[in-house]
């Protein structure tokens, strides 16, 4: 006999599905947070610690604080609207020429990001197995294609598990040395006082921030949150999702900030004044001399995991940028093959990996205003987010962070192109 509507509504006879637990909802920020641990970050933090000791500790802390706000705003945009930042921009930019120009700069940023990450993976494989850089780049690209296939066929949750597993390897690989050779506590405390020594320290500070807050992480996080929460589970309100997202972003930024700080402190405590540490290869050799083969090997393993994880997220962001701005969808794996070509060409032609990493950070500096400013503007508008639009305090913090980041990235460009550092 069929049950009456009253019986169906009775939780005793037909219980409603339970909302997902907190742990199940975590993940998008941890994936996007991998962008904060890419080879560009490793190079910038290692060089800063080796050349200036604890001087720029405050830059890492400040960058991580701003990153929390920026990544939360990106995730909120994706959750509330059900659209990514590139999608919304593609709808609001009416002129096809403007959309095309916007896509070109965003695509160049995605390519520069991919370049740094593939090179980082290639350098790591060279350090671990003495493989030629071109072969290392091919292996890095091939493994990232497998990871993207997981995302395409098994969904965002499986992709998150793969990335988070690599995140654990990254954290261990870059942090072990700090526990074996702890930094000086008074030196760390003095590094929390904002200051510079010379033009080169300003350049390194801008490089740290440029490698930390990257455009593709902003684009990607809104898409990751959209994909993950496209279907609302029973009892899962938008407010609940935003609460969980704040936890997600906090956990991701604590991990990323701690690892970046560990890299700088490792170099400050053990590599200060050691020549050659302005390259990944030189830093690896210095670590081996100072702390032994085990620490140096773990550093190289962490670098490899960093390259593999971040290049996969970068390819995901690039596909979203194209689809959102141009309304053109290319299969993710096809795009991965295309985006590998510039990186492999640079490795094949024998360009210096460290110089290529520096140039990639310069390109990223061009792209940050085009991602950050629209994000702050859109999340402040009730016409876009309704009742979830930013409070004035949040908008003010976003504006201040935008001004600081755009200014420092401008300083980075001036110092690089004028050779002032």
Q: How confident is the model over 41-69, as pLDDT tens digits?
A: 888 899 899 999 999 999 999 999 999 99
pLDDT of residue 15: 47
CB 364 within 8 A of CB 44: no
Residues 6+ apart with CB under 8 A from 212: 36, 41, 60, 63, 64, 67, 260
- Confidence band (pLDDT; 50, 70, 90) for 230? low
**Structure tokens of 42?**
């490793």
Check residue 122 and give its pLDDT: 93
Q: Residue 99 above 90 pLDDT?
A: yes
* Whether pLDDT at 368 is above 50: yes
Cα angle 382, 226, 240 (rounded to 5 degrees) comes to 70
Q: In the prediction, which pLDDT does 249 show?
A: 94
| CATH code that applies to domain 19-260+287-418 | 1.10.4160.10
State percent of the chain over pLDDT 70.
91
pLDDT surpasses 90 at 267: yes
Among 43-47, 162-166, 206-210, 285-289, the range scoring the smallest mean pLDDT is 206-210
d(CA 190, CA 209): 20
| Structure confidence at residue 170 (pLDDT) | 93
Output b/e per residue, 224-260; b: 16+ Cβ within 10 A. Answer: bbbbbbeeeeeebebebbbebbeebbeebbebbbbbb
Q: Is the pLDDT of residue 210 over 80?
A: no
- pLDDT tens-digit series, residues 164-200: 899 999 999 999 999 988 999 999 999 999 999 988 8
Query: Is 50 exceeded by the pLDDT of residue 144?
Result: yes
For the chain, what percent of residues have pLDDT higher than 90? 46
Q: Give me the residue label for tokens 């490899």.
A: 304
- Residues 59 and 238: beta-carbon distance below 8 Å: no
Q: What is the pLDDT of residue 20?
A: 54
Give the model's pLDDT for residue 190. 95
Query: Dihedral, CA atoms, 302, 304, 310, 314, nearest 10 degrees?
Result: 170
Q: Residue 10 — very low, low, confident or very high, per pLDDT cuts 50/70/90?
A: very low
Secondary structure class of 236 (helix, strand, coil): coil
Average pLDDT across the chain, whole number = 86
Residue 9 in this model has a pLDDT that exceeds 50: no
* pLDDT number for residue 356: 79
Tens-place pLDDT, residues 297-346? 999 999 999 989 888 888 888 889 989 998 888 887 787 788 888 888 98
Can you tell me which residue has the tokens 């801008």? 206
Which of 324, 86, 115 lies closest to 215, judged by CA?
Answer: 86
Domain boundaries defined on the chain: 19-260+287-418
């Amino acid at each position: 006999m069929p049950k009456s509507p009253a019986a169906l509504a009775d939780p005793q006879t037909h219980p409603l599905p339970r909302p997902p637990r907190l742990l199940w909802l975590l993940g998008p920020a941890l994936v996007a947070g991998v962008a904060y641990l890419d080879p560009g970050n490793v190079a910038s933090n290692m060089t800063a610690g080796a050349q200036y000791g604890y001087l720029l500790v405050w830059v890492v802390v400040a960058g991580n604080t701003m990153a929390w706000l920026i990544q939360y705003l990106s995730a909120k945009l994706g959750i509330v609207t059900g659209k990514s930042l590139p999608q919304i921009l593609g709808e609001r930019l009416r002129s096809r020429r403007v959309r095309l120009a916007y896509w070109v700069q965003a695509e160049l940023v995605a390519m520069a990001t991919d370049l740094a990450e593939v090179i980082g993976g290639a350098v790591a494989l060279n350090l671990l197995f003495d493989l030629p850089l071109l072969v290392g780049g091919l292996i890095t690209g091939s493994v990232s294609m497998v990871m993207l296939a997981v995302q395409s066929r098994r969904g965002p949750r499986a992709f998150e598990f793969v990335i988070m597993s690599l995140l654990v390897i990254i954290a261990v690989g870059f942090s072990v040395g700090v526990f074996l050779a702890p930094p000086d506590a008074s030196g760390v405390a003095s590094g929390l006082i904002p200051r510079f020594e010379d033009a080169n320290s300003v350049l390194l500070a801008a490089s740290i921030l440029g490698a930390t807050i990257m455009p593709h992480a902003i684009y990607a996080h809104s898409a990751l949150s959209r994909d993950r929460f496209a279907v609302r589970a029973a009892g899962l309100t938008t407010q609940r999702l935003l609460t969980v997202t704040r936890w997600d972003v906090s956990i991701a930024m604590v991990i990323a900030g701690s690892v970046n700080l560990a890299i700088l402190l490792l170099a400050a405590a053990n590599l200060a004044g050691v020549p050659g540490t302005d390259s990944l290869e030189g830093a690896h050799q210095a670590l081996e001399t100072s702390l032994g083969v085990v620490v140096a090997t773990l550093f190289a393993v962490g670098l490899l995991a960093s390259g593999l994880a971040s290049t996969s997220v970068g390819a995901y962001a690039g596909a979203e940028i194209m689809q959102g701005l141009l309304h053109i969808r290319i299969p993710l794996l096809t795009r991965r093959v295309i985006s590998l070509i510039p990186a492999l060409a640079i490795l094949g032609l024998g360009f210096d990996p460290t110089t290529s990493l520096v140039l990639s950070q310069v390109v990223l500096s061009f792209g940050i205003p085009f991602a950050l400013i629209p994000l702050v503007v859109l999340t402040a508008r009730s016409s876009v987010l309704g009742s979830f639009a930013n409070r004035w305090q949040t908008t003010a913090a976003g504006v201040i962070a935008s001004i600081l980041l755009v200014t420092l990235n401008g300083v980075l460009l001036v110092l690089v192109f004028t050779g002032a550092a």
